[in-house]
Structure 1
């Protein structure tokens, strides 16, 4: 029996008997930059047991591309051997991020894959969800055309796959990926309007930048106006969002952004020389000390408390604040009162609120 026979029979025992006879068995034909390894053969045929055994014995094989530009997982996907795909994913989740021909990863592949029937569609969508949850960084991978999995799903009209991606991006707070541009400067919304996909437009319109321009200088709103699709309801949503975005979306170019006056938050960061995520913790610690001092000041009112009781009526200016030193009072009452007290408390409150905003900004 040959290695090919052992793979065809998915016989692990026979695989090891062959290895005992030839310790270099798995290396034959596996040299060079683009080898067709025995793992490519086993995965492409859906022989999961032998494929897993080879992947364990030869840890580099799962990441290698053959002369067609495909990894073993790519071949398993192309031939609909989803059980083998799951087994390889369990062995090494990073295989989901292997770039094959065209820069396409397994995640890109399933995002654009529409099954031949409902049952296969369900399995592909489940696999897409498993990819995302098993290796969440895979959503940031791009094809050689700078496309995310979202671009691929929209371009192929795979609405169900888009819904899975869209829902997951909201759950993990990565909505900004919806505004990433491909090599033509198109976001997912540009593509959805060009391809007349009203269902996707409805989902995207509240989360994507309708005024973002592609490299032809066209916004998604302008593409929609030239290429209207869907019901009047879609058009109304589009125009409403366009008006709202124009009101609230910054229009600074990158050079203008760099050259603008810095915000208080940025000045604070520069003062403490914040350069990375770990250093932000320093700000939090410093902020706690400042907050403690502010809190203590709030507990001890400006001017302090009267130490005795009196019925005199003499007013004296101290530190620009009028304090009624001779005013009738009782021991234990707050010395400062009226407008002076209100102004001091308001100043402390404003400082505390500003500090809270800075702390939340850098802690988040």
Structure 2
């Protein structure tokens, strides 16, 4: 009888039937407390959450809030499943019952926010970071949630996280390989994501590192590299915007506070000089590329002319010359037997 009631409970969770749940609780008020005595890995709440039965999930949480903390064999809570599936309404109910579940990691070290970032669940991400803001700084095997958004190519989720985590060190965090989210997006050739990250003022731009990690196109190779015209447009546009904004701020500061020490003025000059050097580097590099292609084009024309000349020479003056008269093998053994070598044809034809 007890096994039958428990089976009915799990079947009700699969259908999302609240009426059956209420009937079972009336007949046995402790039925939800007996779940831990069964051999099932998941609780009815795990199943209900996974199948997006909102009302049934609410009823279970209201009857027994402790079900929110129960884990399956992979140490995943119902919040893990709801976050991965993007069930925002269910996530809200689970957070109201126990928001600290945001920081609980599963067997693979993933908190609910990691799963939401990997799946690009923007609304769920908003609910999770609103409940526990510090959860955004939790890393997964050395990667931040920003790295996860880039690695799984979810730009909207990345924008949400960047807007919520307005921390310079967080935005420029590196993974175990020493790459920031900007460098990872470059290596994965995500042009739109790279352009967005370059527009974020607090994102550091290391030109040499970008070339090393993702922009191999600059050294003449196109393997895993971003095409030159794409990165030209991205970097010049975004970097110019940053430099212009820096110069405008400096001008305003200089008019408002004219009395400054030489040391402070020297620091400001150095700060403006850094992006200027970057521009000089890019211009020099692009000039070099332009000259390189011009020289390559010239060399190819020389080679093509030489090949054409050799082909023409062979056609007009073949090796061995031409037969001067109609000849047979009896007259000249170099002529094939049984054939007549016609005058004007190539000897070696």
Deviation at 1:80, TM superposition (A): 4.9
* Residue 137 to residue 105, structure 1, CA distance change in 2 (3 Å): same
1:50 aligns with 2:56: yes
* Residue 33 to residue 233, structure 1, CA distance change in 2 (3 Å): farther
2:144 corresponds, among 145, 148, 170, to 148
Alignment match, 1:133: 130
DSSP-derived class of the 1:147 partner: coil
How many Å separate the matches in 1 of 2:168 and 2:39? 38
Contact 2:9 2:24 in 1 (8 A): yes
- Unpaired runs of 5+ residues, structure 2, are 217-224, 244-260, 262-349
From the two aligned structures, give the one with the greater helix fraction.
2
How many Å separate the matches in 1 of 2:35 and 2:83? 23
DSSP-derived class of the 1:219 partner: helix
Contact 1:210 1:221 in 2 (8 A): no
How many Å separate the matches in 2 of 1:87 and 1:238? 42
2:162 corresponds, among 166, 189, 210, to 166
Question: CA deviation digits over 1:62-117, x for unaligned, max 9?
Answer: 23321134221222344454432232233333333332242222222222225xxx
1:207 aligns with 2:202: yes
Report the TM-score when normalising by structure 2.
Answer: 0.55
Alignment match, 2:177: 184
Q: What are the equivalent positions in structure 2 for 1:244-255 lying under 5 Å apart?
A: none
* Residue 222 to residue 236, structure 1, CA distance change in 2 (3 Å): farther
Alignment match, 1:232: 232
* Residue 65 to residue 142, structure 1, CA distance change in 2 (3 Å): farther
Report the TM-score when normalising by structure 1.
Answer: 0.53
Question: CA deviation digits over 1:288-326, x for unaligned, max 9?
Answer: xxxxxxxxxxxxxxxxxxxxxxxxxxxxxxxxxxxxxxx
How many Å separate the matches in 1 of 2:48 and 2:176? 36
- Unpaired runs of 5+ residues, structure 1, are 115-123, 213-217, 244-349, 351-364
How many Å separate the matches in 1 of 2:127 and 2:88? 12
Q: Pick the structure with greater CA Rg.
A: 2
Contact 1:210 1:242 in 2 (8 A): no
* Residue 31 to residue 190, structure 1, CA distance change in 2 (3 Å): farther
DSSP-derived class of the 1:6 partner: helix
DSSP-derived class of the 2:45 partner: helix
Question: CA deviation digits over 1:224-244, x for unaligned, max 9?
Answer: 34233534122436888999x
Deviation at 1:191, TM superposition (A): 0.8
1:66 aligns with 2:77: no
How many Å separate the matches in 1 of 2:239 and 2:83? 41
* Residue 8 to residue 33, structure 1, CA distance change in 2 (3 Å): closer
